[in-house]
Amino acid sequence: MWKSIASNALTLFIVVLVALAGLLAWGKRQYEGPGPLAQAICFRVDRGASFAAVSRALETQGAVSDARILRIGADYSEKTQGLKFGSYLIQPGTSMADIVDQLTRGGQSSCGSEINFRIGVAAADVVLRALDPATQRYEEVVKFDPATEAAPAEYLAAVADAGIRLRVTLAEGTTVWQAAEALKRADFLSGAIPALPPEGTLAPDSYEVAKGADRAALLADMQARQTRLLDDLWASRAEGLPYRTKEEALIMASIVEKETGVPDERGTVASVFVNRLRQGMKRQTDPTVIYGVTKGQGVLGRGLRQSELRTATPWNTYVIDGLPPTPIANPGRASIEATLNPPVTPYIFFVADGSGGHAFAETLAEHNANVAKWRQIEAERARNQPAQPSGN
C-alpha cells in the first residue's frame, strides 16, 4: 500500500514538475517572443512611477499581453527597480523583454514632444513639435516669436509638463548679443547674464537643456564647445595660412560665415580672403562694415550707405588693413573648417551672381564684368517689382 502511495505521489510530483516546466517555458516564450502591438506608440513613464502601474498601462495600451508575465520577467532579470522616466517609442511587435530593457536602460527620451527655442540671425522663434509614432516624424504643433507674440495655449501646456524635452538651437552667423538677448526670453531658463562672452566664441549648435537651467551656464557651455572645436580644427589646419593665432582664424571664419549662405562656396570665399591677405590687399567686405555700424546688436535692415563704407571703424575692411579686431559673428564648424583648410584658387574678387551665390574672378577686368551683370540683375528686379501705393 505504501509503495502504491509513494509511487502515485512520485508520479504526481513528476507531473507537477513537467507542468511547471511547461508553464515556465510558455512564460519565457511570452516574455521574449514578439509582442501584440500592431502600431507604434509613444509610452510615457512618469517620474516615480511603480513598475506595477507601468506594466498595467502597457497591457491597457496593447503593448504586452499580460502585465503579470512582464512583472515576473522583469523581477527575474532584476530590472523592476530600474525604471527611467521619460517618453519612449515602442515599435510594433516589440517583446516584453525588449520593452523592459528600453524602459530601464535610460538615456534620452525617444518619443513624445519637444520645445525648440531657435535663435536665428534675424529673429528667434519657439517651435513645439510632437513625434507621430506611426511615421516616426516630428510634426509641428505650434510656432511663435517670443519677442512679438504671446505664448499659445499649446505651448504653455507643454512647457508645464515635467517630461517635456527642451532644446536651444543657435544658428550660424548670429552674434553673441543676439544669442544673449534671445535667451532672456526663454521662459524655461533661469538666471541673469552678468557679462557677454567675446564675440564669435559661441558654437552654433543644438543644446538639450533641463527646465530651469541657468542662462549664463548655457552660454558658458556654448563657449566651451566653440573652444574645443577651434582647438581641434586648428591642430589639423593647412600649412602656410596667413593667420598667426587661432583668434585670427576665428575672425576670418566669422567673415566667411557672413559672406555666403551657400555651403559649397565657403571654401572658395575663404580662399579669396587668404589670397588677399597674402597680397596685402584690403578685405573690402560689407558684413564687416555692417558690424561696425550695429556692433552686432541687431540687424541693419537696409543697404549700406556710401558714407558708411567710407567711415573708419575698427571693423571697416574697406578702410583698415588686415583683419578686424574681433569676429563679427559666431561661425559654425563648416566656416571654420573652410577657413583653416581652404582650396587653392587664383581668385581675389567675388560679387553676387543673382542666384544666391557669387561669381568669382581672378582679374579686376573679370570682376568688373561680373559686377556689371549683377547691376543689370538688380535693375531688372527693381523694374519688375510692383509699384507701391503712395502715402499721404
Q: Where are the domains of the chain?
A: 28-105, 113-231, 238-345
Mean pLDDT in residue range 369-385: 82
Q: What is the mean pLDDT of residues 324-341?
A: 96
Confidence bin at 213 (pLDDT 50/70/90): very high
CA 350, CA 125: separation in Å to the nearest integer?
33
The Cα 73–Cα 29 span in angstroms is: 11
pLDDT at 311: 87
**Residue 94's pLDDT band (boundaries 50, 70, 90)?**
confident
Q: Which of 121-135, 145-159, 211-225 has the lowest mean pLDDT?
A: 121-135
86 burial via Cβ count (<10 Å: 0-12, 13-18, 19+): buried
How far apart CA 129 and CA 132 sit, in angstroms, is 10
Mean pLDDT of the chain: 85
Question: Residue 1: what pLDDT?
Answer: 54
What pLDDT was estimated at residue 3? 55
User: What does the pLDDT read at residue 390?
Assistant: 39
Q: Report the top-level CATH class of 28-105.
A: alpha beta
Which pLDDT score, from 0 to 100, does residue 55 have?
A: 85
Lowest mean pLDDT, pick from 32-36, 321-325, 381-385:
381-385
Instruction: Reply yes or no on whether the pLDDT at 78 is more than 80.
Output: no
User: Length of the chain in residues, anyone?
Assistant: 392
SS3 116: strand
pLDDT above 90 coverage of the chain, percent: 43
How do beta strands 86-90 and 41-45 pair? antiparallel
Residue 391 — pLDDT band, cuts 50, 70, 90? Answer: very low
Residues 6+ positions from 325 with CB-CB distance below 8 Å: 314, 315
Q: Which residues pair with 349 in a beta bridge?
A: 361
Cell of 331: 561661425
269-284 tens-digit pLDDT:
999 999 998 988 887 8
| Residue 310 in this model has a pLDDT that exceeds 50 | yes
Contact 267, 348 (CB under 8 A): no
| CA distances in angstroms from 262 to 2, 66, 103, 243, 258, listed in the order given | 95, 55, 43, 24, 10
pLDDT of 388: 47
Tell me how many helices (H) and strands (E) the chain has. Answer: 13, 9
Higher pLDDT, 70 or 4: 70
Q: What is the pLDDT of residue 44?
A: 78
